[in-house]
Amino acid sequence: MKTIKTGVIGAGYLGRFHAEKYFQLPNAELVGVVDLDREKADNLANRLNTGSFYSHRDILDKVDAVSVVTPTETHFEITKDCLARGIDVMLEKPMTNTVDEAEKLIEEAERNNALLQIGHLERFNGAVVALEGKCVSPLFIESDRLSPFPNRGVDVDVVLDLMIHDIDIILNLVKSDFESVEAVGMPVVSGKVDIANARLKFKNGCVANVTASRVAREALRKIRLFQPGEYISIDYAAQKIAIFKKEEVDGEMPRIVEEDIKIEMKDSLMEEIKAFLNCVANRSQPLVSGRDGRRALHVAQKIQAAIKESLNTIEGSVGKL
**Burial class of 97 by CB neighbour count within 10 A (0 to 12, 13 to 18, 19+):** middle
Q: Is residue 296 part of a domain?
A: no
Give me the pLDDT at residue 263, please. 87
The verdict on 117 and 76 lying in the same domain is: yes
* Segment (H or E) for 302: helix 290-320
| Contact between residue 66 and residue 82 where contact means Cβ atoms under 8 Å apart | yes
Three-class DSSP category at 165: helix
**Do 83 and 149 reside in the same domain of the chain?**
no
For the domain that residue 88 is a member of, what is the CATH number? 3.40.50.720
Domain that holds residue 103: 4-121+269-288
Distance in angstroms (rounded) separating the CA atoms of residues 182 and 209: 10
Domain match, 196 and 213 both? yes
Query: Helices 164-173 and 290-320: crossing angle, nearest 10°?
Result: 120
- Does 258 share its domain with 136? yes
Contact by Cβ (8 Å): 87, 65? yes
- In this structure, are residues 60 and 34 in contact, taking their beta carbons and an 8 Å threshold? no
116 and 229 part of one domain: no
Residues 42 and 114 in one domain: yes
Q: Is 181 helix (H, G, I), strand (E, B) or coil?
A: strand
Sheet holding 140-146, edge to edge: 178-187, 193-202, 207-213, 140-146, 220-227, 230-235, 240-247, 255-261
**Is residue 74 in a domain?**
yes
Domains in the chain, number: 2
Q: Say if residue 33 is in the same domain as residue 180.
A: no
Mean pLDDT, 10 residues at a time, over the chain (321 residues)? 93 96 97 97 97 97 97 97 98 96 98 98 94 84 94 82 96 94 94 95 97 94 93 94 83 77 90 98 96 97 95 65 41
Q: What is the CATH number of the domain that holds 250?
A: 3.30.360.10
What pLDDT score was predicted for residue 58?
97
- Report the largest interatomic distance among the alpha carbons of the chain, rounded to a whole angstrom: 74
Q: What is the DSSP string of 188-212?
A: SSSSSEEEEEEEEEETTS-EEEEEE
Would 293 be classed as within a structural domain? no
Q: CA distances (Å), 203 to each of 175, 176, 314, in order?
A: 10, 6, 29
Smallest Cα–Cα separation from 95: which of 164, 180, 177?
A: 164
In a domain, 295, yes or no: no
Same domain, residue pair 104 and 162: no
Note the helical H segments in 87-131.
99-111, 126-130
Same domain assignment for residues 305 and 172 = yes
Domain match, 247 and 279 both: no
- Whether residue 138 sits in one domain with residue 97: no
Same domain, 153 and 274: no
In a domain, 254, yes or no: yes
